[in-house]
Every structure is written in C-alpha cells, then in structure tokens.
Amino acid sequence: MLKTRIWIAIIAVILIACVVACVIVFTKKDGGKRVEVYVENELVFSADLENVSEPYEKIIETKQGKNVLEIASGKVRIKDADCDGKDCVHMGWTGSPSAPIVCLPHRLVVKIVGKEDVDVVSE
Amino acid sequence: MIFVASFFMGCESEQTVSKTFFAMNTVMNVSFSGTNEQLGRVEKIANDLEEKFSVTKTTSVVYGMNERGEKTNDEETIALLRTCKDLSDKTEGAFDITVYPIVKAWGFTTGEYDVPSDEKLLSLLPKVDGSLIRIENGEAFLENGAQIDLGGIAKGYCSDKIADYLRAEGVKRGVINLGGNVYALGEKKKGTPWKVGVASPDGNGLIGVIDASDQAVVTSGLYERNFVRDGVTYGHIVDPFTGKTVRGDLLSVTVVGKSGTECDAFSTALFVKGAREAAQTASKLHLSVLLLTTDGTICISQSLKNVFTPSAGYEKNKIIVIE
C-alpha cells in the first residue's frame, strides 16, 4: 500500500540519518598538533606544529615582559625571556600535550594541543 | 537529521568543565565532570590555602608565625602541622618543614639564587628542628627562631582538599593537576583508569605511564626549579641534615597513594634519602614508589609493577622490584 510504503521510506530515512550521525560523531578526526600560547588565560598566539620545515621564532609580548618562542616540527620551547630566573627557558622543549611550559612572572602558558597520549603528566 | 546528530553528540559525553589558573606559585589545571560553579569553588579552595600558607604574603598564618612569632589557633593549620611532625618521624627527619631558613639562604623563595657558605649553613642548621614546632592548648607556634615552609606538602594537601570537595559533591571523575602534583579522581570512564605520565628528568617525554584511579601521583626531581652557578647545577630540594641541596643517586622519585598530602611529603623525603634508603623506607612504610637512579635503573614497588608501562626510551632500562 502506498501509505505503508511512505511510512517505510520515512523510517528508513530516519535510520540512515542515525547511522550517518553516528559515523560523523565517532570518526571525528583529531586535528594535527598545534601550539597555543595563553597570556593571563587569553589565547594570544597559535600555530601548526605538523608542517614546520624550518624552526622559527615568535616574540610574545606581555605586560610584564617578553618571551621568545622557538617553534620546530612537533615541538616548541621558550628560547629566551626577560623574566627573573628564566625558569621557562630552563624547561626546554616540549612536544607533549600534557607538559605545558609556564612563565609565571609573565602569566604565560605554552600548551601543545592535539592527540593526547596520556591524560596528565606528574612532574 | 540535525536533531538525531545532536542527540548522539549529547550521548557521547557528560559535561566536562576545566580551568587553568595560577595559585600557590604555580599553574594549576582542574578538569572534571561537573558544573562551572563547582569549578569556581575549586579555584577558591586553592586561593584560600595560598592566603593561609604562603611564606611571602604578610597576611598569611605562616608568615605571622615565621616573621612575627605569632601563635595560631587555626584548626586546619594545626592539623597539617601535626601531620608534618608525624611524617618527619616516619622519614627519620628527611621531610622537615623547619628547613625554611636554609631554603631562604639558597634564594629559592625570591629567585635571587646564591650558594651559601658552609659557615652560614652551620649557623642556620640548629633552627632546623621539628621539635621547635610547638602545639599546646589548641595553639601552634615556633620556638628559637625556627621558621617553616609548607611548600613540600601544600600542593599535595590542596589536591586532597579539592578531591574531598568534589567527592562530597558527587563528582565521579576528574583530573587535578597542581603544578605537576596529580590527583586522579575516580576512573576516566567505567573500567578504565586514568593514564598518568611520569615526566622524564631529561625534559624529553616520559619515563612511562602509571594507570591510576582515585590516587595521587606526585613526582620530585632535580630538573624542577634549579639554578646553575660556576657550572654546577643546584636543585631545589634541601637536605635538612646538611643544609646542602640534594645531589645524590636519584634523578626522579614518584609516590602513588590515596593521600596527596603524604605522597607530596614522601616524594621529597625519599629524594633526600637516596636510592638505597628510599627503597628501604618505601618497603617499611608500604609505599608505592617509582625511583629513577642516575645510572638509569628503575626501582619500582611490587604494587605498581602491573600498572606501569615504560615509554619507548626506557623499555631497555634495568628494573628492580621493591617488595
């Protein structure tokens, strides 16, 4: 009957929609590795870390001073800073989403975002 | 179709709230399945503890005791001081909060690093004495010029306080990371523990991963705050017996347990003790520890052996199991 066929067609469309939705949601691909720099909890700079052929520098200015970021393939570090102690410089390179670099005097946090291999790092 | 898609997206996860903020002189990140209001309360817990325990804020309880010889009847402070004395006894003095005058002499408080002379250290060592913390008639105070620094235990204590608050609120899962002091609350999802990486001391990746649920994971190492003077690297952990900064045979100490407070204190104390005594103390006190020595040996407690996975760079290292 036409009415039954219409109902079957409607249900089929709904079922296909459910399957497509599941596929979209569960195969969401994570973006590649990126670096994000926050000053006073606000995002001030972001860059891709996957396609870096030559390391390059980026100067981040904060109210309290300056940090020089060096960006290389898959990793980042603070190469220089004018803060006391330069703890952020001594932290060296990071390529892990769970090991951010912090410059406390400048309220600056350098985070790697991308595929997580652990949930958190104890250090 | 949009309705159906959003229905499935909703099914995928509960609301996870997360915040990164500065407190206790470090960066803190808390993430859990709960509300933004609870997140605000968590940040307040950390800030209130900083107000109370800071050695530099002139209005803190600790500053008053240290610099103005004040007595305190604050119950929380007194309880933590009792815990510190108890942990000092358990570690035979390797954990000692009265080491603060020496920490100051090294410049770790201000960042104006210096290498104190042996004479200077000898003059300050008599003040490093846990018995100078007096608790009587509901009050705590310090004698004979003793001064305390809760830096070796405060973050662990704070993580316990946050975890207790979240549990009381019915929060089932979360990760608390206070400047590297980790508390893994609940499980990541049912049947799956949290994966807690242990940082490699060379700054390059991880020693390995510990599976943890409802446990604190605290790591101490030389690679944290340190300074270089005349080609020598000085780490921030001071030996309470000699006044010198620790440079023994341990590169990294990780303690895992139910109490962040204890894990924090023990990780410092075991570092002071060196590998052999650290392993003996861990065995005696039934601690779950992971030690990395300067020759690359990994000493791991029996209780952690099956929940630890070494990372690629450490798979070939010699492993000794501590019974």
Q: Is B72 on the interface with A (CB under 8 A)?
A: no
Helix H or strand E encompassing B49: helix B36-53
Task: Tell me whether A100 touches chain B (CB under 8 Å).
Answer: yes
- Band of the pLDDT at A30, cuts 50, 70, 90? very low
In this predicted structure, the answer to whether residue A19 has a pLDDT above a threshold of 90 is no
Q: Does A87 touch chain B (CB under 8 A)?
A: yes
Question: Which of B142, B27, B312 is CA-nearest to residue A123?
Answer: B27
Residue A59: what residue type?
I
Residue B235: predicted pLDDT: 87
What's the pLDDT score for residue A27?
52
Interface of B with A in 217-246 (CB under 8 A): 217-219, 221, 224-227
Over residues B153-188, the pLDDT tens digits come to 999 999 999 999 999 999 999 999 999 999 999 999
**Three-point CA angle B268, B272, B277, nearest 5°:** 110
Q: What is the per-residue pLDDT for B12?
A: 40
Q: What's the pLDDT score for residue B1?
A: 52
Contacts of A17 in chain B (CB under 8 A): 1, 4-5
**pLDDT for B2:** 53
Under 8 Å between Cβ of A73 and A56? no
Give mean pLDDT, residues B191-201.
Answer: 94
Mean pLDDT of chain B: 93
Give the CA angle between residues B121, B124, B125 to the nearest 5°: 85
**Conformational region of residue A41, where left means phi above 0, alpha means psi within -120 to 50, and beta covers everything else:** left
Percentage of chain A exceeding pLDDT 70: 91
**B207 CA: distance to closest CA in chain A (Å):** 10
Q: Measured between CA atoms, how close is B214 to chain A, in angstroms?
A: 14
CB contact under 8 A, B195 and A119: yes
pLDDT band for position A52 (50/70/90)? Answer: confident
Query: Considering only CB atoms, which chain B residues are within 8 Å of A108?
Result: none
Q: How sure is the predictor about B37, in pLDDT bands with cuts at 50, 70 and 90?
A: very high
Considering only B89-93, B107-111, B131-135, B297-301, which range has the smallest mean pLDDT? B107-111
**pLDDT over 70 at B8, yes or no:** no
What pLDDT does A25 receive?
58
Phi, psi of A60 (to 5 degrees): -105, 120
Predicted pLDDT of residue A26: 59
| Shortest alpha-carbon distance between residue B133 and chain A (Å) | 30
Q: Which residue in B149, B177, B150, B151 sits closest to B163, CA to CA?
A: B177
C-alpha closest to that of A107 among B25, B163, B311: B25
- Confirm or reject contact between A59 and chain B (CB < 8 A): no
Cβ distance A123 to B26 less than 8 Å, yes or no, reads no
ipTM of the complex: 0.90
What is the helix, strand, coil percentage profile of chain B, to 5?
Answer: 40, 30, 35
pLDDT score, position B7: 52
Q: Quick check: A12 contacting B, CB < 8 Å?
A: no
For the segment B270-319, what is each residue's pLDDT rounded down to a tens digit? 999 999 999 999 999 999 999 999 999 999 999 999 999 999 889 999 99
Spatial strand order of the sheet with A34-39 comes to: A42-48, A34-39, A108-113, A101-103
Among candidates A17, A92, A98 on the partner chain, residue whose Cβ is nearest the Cβ of B1? A17
Any B CB within 8 A of A2 CB: no
Which of A4-13, B10-19, B312-321 is the least confident region? B10-19
pLDDT above 90 covers a percentage of chain B that reads: 84
Band of the pLDDT at A95, cuts 50, 70, 90? Answer: confident
